[in-house]
Amino acid sequence: MAHNSHDPYDAPPLRGLGPVKATLRVFVALQCWGYAAAHLQFGVKSALARLLEKEFYLSATDTGMIDQMAAIGLAICGMICLLRPAWPVLLALSFGEAVFVLSKAWLGEGGHPAIIAARHAAIVLSPLILGCADFWPYPRKFSLGFWIAISAMMRVAVCVSFIGSGLQGLIESHHGGDLVRVATGAVEKFTRRTPSSEDAKTALAIASAIQLGVGLALLLNRSRQAAAFAALVGVFLAGCYSIGLGMAGYPRTLTHMVQGGIAAALCLFWVSATHEGEMSYVPDLPAVKGHGGH
């Protein structure tokens, strides 16, 4: 059934959007719970709390209370994201995560500020992407033009975060850093032996080069295979935090899995709603009896 309108913002809904929305919901919820678990279970002090203590001279008691309230709020936001995302909540969530990332950059933790921002692109943008894809409480017609913008946001988030993570990993593979410790633990678990510092740095460099390659591949090509591979790489490398650090690393696993989650949602969108090999989209139209569904 053809759609005669030339206005992409007046096109029929696309096919297969349900799994895309569900994937985004799950990974944004996991991200929220990862941040919450870091404080509630392990007492990790957030970058914002450290910034407030250093620059504004707040007491540890005051910043601890701020972290406690933020962790409880994130745990609640995770449940809301999973069950019924609401755009006001998601907008506030994205703003809050941007503040945490800016705090890390201000403190100089995790490398160059530009790389810090790039590494966390998927984390900051994922609530906005979910808010646009699963808009509520106000009903709206999800037009073709709107979903073109959403897919572009997903692609940018995946590309930038993979490139940023790859660059940071390559830097730390030469100069040392927290990721080397993660790589050391992961290699030890996989190989059943204690690796040397050089072995761990080599493993980190290989993983980082793969991340960089995946990010560049998705930046240059609209490839379903590249998006699927990015999803696998993103989820696996996020799992390496738990593999390498044990239970202490699982909050970071939950937080960073969103990188692979957005790649998975992008892959599902390209598979369900687009024709392979050309930039054309598949509308979700009811089959017409007697015409073979066309």
> DSSP state, 9?
G
Q: Quote the tokens at residue 239.
A: 């799992």
* pLDDT tens digit sequence for 215-231: 999 999 888 999 999 99
Residues above pLDDT 70, as percent of the chain: 88
Q: ∠ CA 82-84-88 to the nearest 5 degrees?
A: 105
Give the integer Cα–Cα distance in Å for 294 and 288. Answer: 7
- Peptide bond before residue 137 is cis, with ω within 30 degrees of 0: yes
Nearest-10 crossing angle of helices 87-107, 17-40 = 50
3-state class percentages of the chain: helix first, strand second, coil last, to nearest 5: 75, 0, 25
Query: Which value, in Å, is the radius of gyration of the alpha carbons in the chain?
Result: 21
Residue 36 C-beta-side C-alpha neighbours within 13 Å: 17
Give the integer Cα–Cα distance in Å for 169 and 233. Answer: 14
Q: Fill in the amino acid letter for 78.
A: G
Q: Fill in the amino acid letter for 160.
A: V
Give the predicted TM-score (pTM) of the model.
0.87
pLDDT at 290: 44
Q: Is the pLDDT of residue 294 over 70?
A: no
pLDDT at 96: 92
Nearest-10 crossing angle of helices 197-220, 178-191 = 100
Residue 35 near residue 81 (C-beta atoms within 8 A): no
pLDDT at 112: 87
Mean pLDDT of 76-102: 92
Q: Quote the tokens at residue 7.
A: 């206005």
> DSSP state, 10?
G
Q: Is the pLDDT of residue 1 over 70?
A: no
- Confidence band, pLDDT 50/70/90 cuts, at residue 188: very high
**3-state class (DSSP) for residue 286:** coil
**3-state class (DSSP) for residue 190:** helix
Q: ∠ CA 272-274-275 to the nearest 5 degrees?
A: 115
Q: Fill in the amino acid letter for 177.
A: G
Quickly tell me which residue has 């015409």 as its tokens. Answer: 291
Give the integer Cα–Cα distance in Å for 201 and 173. Answer: 5
